[in-house]
Structure 1
């Protein structure tokens, strides 16, 4: 019979026969190939039982042609191998899970999360969620849908082995919706780059919106705030032009002074706009040096008084006090003057004439603290988050003139000093600004 057996199977069958002759135990089941006269291969599976034969032990063998089964098995193995290769080489992460525990993962899934495949198999999916709450929430949302035979889709953050957070797009489906215990299949797509691009676009759109609003506020401010001094200049020049001979010298001098004040007002507004522009472009000069604190504060108050007298405004109502002996903190004098001058000017502008403004100064080892408190109209809570935005003005200022630049300049100057500014306000009771430099 050996001549019908495939040559590659000779050695195995001969060794089996010899073991049996030596009385060694051998399997009664064997799989081997036969070669037909036409050269075709037949797979044979044998099974046998020990029986006596003419007084001697023998084996009764049954031979079954399993060629078709072998072909089916080979085709199945080849198909599974091909599918495994496809699943392992795909750019999409795939996992098969039972009761939320990974039973199989492809290489892409493991790489996406920074693990080796064997580190994930057998583990709960909780290990790659940002926290347990998000893992619980995912299960509560996904599995009821899967039980209805519906797919589940979500975009969410995932935690890598190194702790980094990535964004993934997840699709899930059940093997058997009637029995989720048979497992679920999940595909993961890394969308971190896409999410970052979406965030960049969102920020750009917000910035564009802010720029459009800024442009609108700028046009509104300039058209309103420049109109008054320009009108004053125009009326004064017309009076001088047409009635020069009738006007007394004192009247002429007053008209000329008025023109100068209007020009100075516009110059100040333009300086503020240019200052904001330099600050936004990070081109603001910063030259800190020791500054005699008491003399500096007094000079700011006196300068403000002169400015108000020049435009016919009431005298100052500033109560100035220093809580510590005189000191010389290291500050940029020009920027510090902007900070203190704008805060005091605003406090006076938005306060009744009979209510004083308090300026309190405390020097300390790390620098200086200015506190400016008024008893004016206050600032609505809704305006506080936007208080330091360029051209922003509180919603309750009414007809009180202003550019919306003062506090924006204050904030830029404070930031350059590495300081901080806080505000506490109550409507109808007043506002307190505290600047630490």
Structure 2
């Protein structure tokens, strides 16, 4: 079986590495060796020296020059690669601050320079991942420690026999709330971890408007508790995507709207189809977000409004963003402090 390989052209390459200098050096050395050998041969011939002696002298001369050239070229090559290899070794040991520097004085790019650029970009990505990993561990440690401390402290107080029944019931409720928050955090982290490693989604065709209605009805009690009005405008739309993943998206976005909308406020849910695009918008008349918060709203554990941090963990919108990316959709946030927030999700029909 014949295997054909077609080299992919890299449009970033605008120059080829030239070895003319090295060729000229080798040519000059060879010319010097030949000239030297001829001169030695002529000198010995004029003195009627033994031919074998002349061959020995000439060979020794050529050998000596060859060794000198070999050592010189080896030193030149090693000096060119020693520093990059040293920097690569430091990266392998976990130092992501190093960079491999360009070997060219001009701004042109050859194959080696492109390789250096790609390697430096890889180091930057690794450094970014390492930073995110550190932040993730720090944040999740804090998020787990807080409810655990609440559970531990209240459980210790409940061991006192003199504690009144009403206080015991109050502390029991507090422990249940903290344990529920801890359970939600662990569940969300596991979901995110699963989605981070998921590449293929299970698609099926279903009614998106019906799914949104079910999500709204599932949160009906929460809407009533906060006395939040609903404005629902749903077109009949069929979609082919992962039904379970999209259910998580709507539940998170709707829960967020309820969370940040004051009593007597309004949450609007709209669904419409434009050509081959499906657009879902969920807006509220809540407190809104600052520009800085909008920029980081999908970052893990980020909570712009700390007044609501006790009823969230900063992972819900990260989960939403990951799912939208997975189904090849788009999500946009429009918000203004004091005027509310609108999340717009754009999906493919199939």
Cα displacement (A) at 1:387: 2.1
Q: Displacement of 1:155 after TM fit?
A: 4.9
Question: In structure 1, which of residues 67, 79, 86 is the aligned counterpart of residue 25 of structure 2?
Answer: 86
Contact (CA 8 Å) 1:321, 1:359: kept in 2 or not?
A: yes
TM-score, normalised on structure 2?
Answer: 0.60
Aligned to 2:38: none
What is the CA–CA distance in structure 2 between the aligned matches of 1:257 and 1:223, rounded to whole Å? 19
Q: 1:197–1:243: structure 2 CA closer, same or farther, 3 Å change rule?
A: same
Distance 1:371 1:276 in 2: 23
Specify the structure having the higher radius of gyration (Cα).
Answer: 1
- Give, in whole Å, the separation in 2 of the partners of 1:365 and 1:89: 71
Deviations 1:36-67 (A, max 9, x none): xxxxxxxxxxxxxxxxxxxxxxxxxxxxxxxx
Is the 2:267–2:282 contact (alpha carbons within 8 Å) kept by the matching residues of 1?
A: yes
Question: What SS class does the counterpart of residue 352 from structure 1 fall into?
Answer: coil
Partner residue in 2 for 1:266: 182
Q: CA deviation at 1:255?
A: 8.1
Aligned to 2:230: 319
* Separation of aligned partners in 2, 1:420 and 1:270: 27
C-alpha distance after superposition, 1:135-186 (max 9, x if no partner): xxxxxxxxxxxxxxxxxx975542xxxxxx438xxxxxxxxxxxxxxxxxxx
Distance in structure 2 (CA, Å) of the matches to 1:233 and 1:362: 49
Write out aligned runs for 1:2-401 (5 A): 85-86=24-25, 155=105, 157-158=107-108, 165-166=109-110, 191-224=113-146, 227=149, 230=151, 234=155, 238=158, 242=161, 263-282=179-198, 286-306=201-221, 308=222, 314-315=225-226, 317-324=228-235, 326-364=236-274, 366=276, 368-394=278-304, 396-401=305-310
Q: What is the alpha-carbon distance in structure 1 between the residues aligned to residue 282 and residue 126 of structure 2?
A: 37
- Once superposed, what is the RMSD of the aligned Cα atoms? 3.7
The Cα of 1:224 is off from its aligned counterpart by 3.1
Change in CA separation of 1:233 and 1:293 when aligned onto 2, cut-off 3 Å: farther
Is contact 1:371-1:432 (8 Å) kept? yes
Structure 1, residues 339-380: CA drift from partner, whole Å, max 9, x if none? Answer: 111111112212222321111122455353211112222222
| Cα distance change of structure 1 residues 195 and 291 upon mapping to structure 2, 3 Å threshold | closer
Question: Number of paired residues?
Answer: 252
Contact persistence 2:279–2:346 (CA under 8 A): yes
The CA distance in 2 between the partners of 1:346 and 1:339, in whole Å, is 11
CA contact (8 A) 2:234 2:269 kept: no
Q: Does 1:408 align with 2:299?
A: no
Task: State the shift of 1:435 in Å.
Answer: 0.5
Residues of 1 paired with 2:346 and 2:22: CA distance? 67
Q: C-alpha distance in 1, partners of 2:333/2:154?
A: 37
> When you count strand as a share of all residues, which structure comes out higher?
1
Unmatched segments (≥5 aa) in structure 2: 1-20, 30-102
Given that residues 232 and 259 in structure 1 are in contact (C-alpha distance below 8 angstroms), is that contact kept between their aligned partners in structure 2?
no
CA distance in 1 between counterparts of 2:154 and 2:225 reads 22
Higher relative contact order (CA 8 A, sep 6+): 2
TM-score, structure 1 as length reference: 0.49
